Amino acid sequence: MKLLKKGAEADIYLTLWNGNKSVLKIREKKDYRNSTLDRRIREQRTIRESNVMSDVKSFGVCSPLVYYVDTKMCKIFMQHMEGKLVRDLPNQKIIKTCEEIGKIVGNLHKNGIMHGDLTTSNFLSMRDKVFVIDFGLAQRTDKVEDHAIDLRLFKEILNSAHADIMEKSWGGFLKSYKKVVGLPRHNRVLSQVSVIESRGRYANVV
């Protein structure tokens, strides 16, 4: 088993599942957390991630297939995607892909799912499709405030990791997000993003 990534939240291995190239995501015990709480958090995120990863397919969002879930051991075996992380694509490709990401996020929100960790490292581009991963912090919610948190984080990531293409990527993202959720909803979510941003600025001043 080859370690692909040791993350703050989980370790990712490349392995085989029933002969299929597979990614194993394990949430290991964290000693700094109370052990009962730790187990609950890891189990809950494992269950949530595998459920949401499967559910989103019903409304046309691409995500890896879930092969097997071991709740007690906090393990998910899933389809290994050969594609590239959107984060690592050339700039022009990132700009183009952000339009697709806007469509995907609009679709998630329209169907009552907040992703919870919208970064360019949680989208994989494979051939002509964009796959979403990392649903451990996803929530079922229709609240404008929650959807705005998703958008705010994505905007922040574009600002920090892709500053030179920020305007074009964000513009393309919003254009297709708006197409999916509709203008009134788009406006409400965006004005909530401004509220969050102004709170952030205020916090910096104080």
Ligand X SMILES: Nc1ncnc2c1ncn2[C@@H]1O[C@H](COP(=O)(O)OP(=O)(O)O)[C@@H](O)[C@H]1O
Judged by the rule CB under 6 A, the positions of this chain that interact with ligand X are: 4-5, 7, 9-10, 12, 23, 25, 64, 78-81, 85, 121-122, 133-134
Stretch that binds Mg ion, among 26-34, 103-111, 115-123, 150-158 (CB under 5 A): 115-123
Pattern 148-187, binding to Mg ion, x per CB under 5 A? Answer: ----------------------------------------
From 31, 55, 88, 117, active-site residue: 117
CB of 168 to Mg ion, least distance (A): 24
What is the length of the chain?
206
In angstroms, how far apart are the furthest CA atoms of the chain? 57
Bridge partners of 77, per DSSP, are 24, 68
**Two tokens, residue 82:** 């050969």
Stretch that binds Mg ion, among 77-85, 114-122, 144-152, 155-163 (CB under 5 A): 114-122
CB of 123 to ligand X, least distance (A): 9
Whichever of 126 and 195 has its CB closer to ligand X, that residue is 126
Q: Catalytic annotation on 117?
A: yes
Whichever of 45 and 155 has its CB closer to ligand X, that residue is 45
- Region of 74 (left: φ > 0; alpha: ψ -120 to 50; beta: rest) is left
Residues 26, 147, 51: CA angle, nearest 5 degrees:
35
Q: What is the DSSP letter of 14?
A: E
With contact defined as beta carbons under 8 Å apart, do 71 and 47 qualify? yes
Contact partners, residue 111, CB within 8 Å, separation at least 6 = 56, 59
Q: Note whether 107 binds Mg ion by CB under 5 A.
A: no
**Active-site residue set:** 117
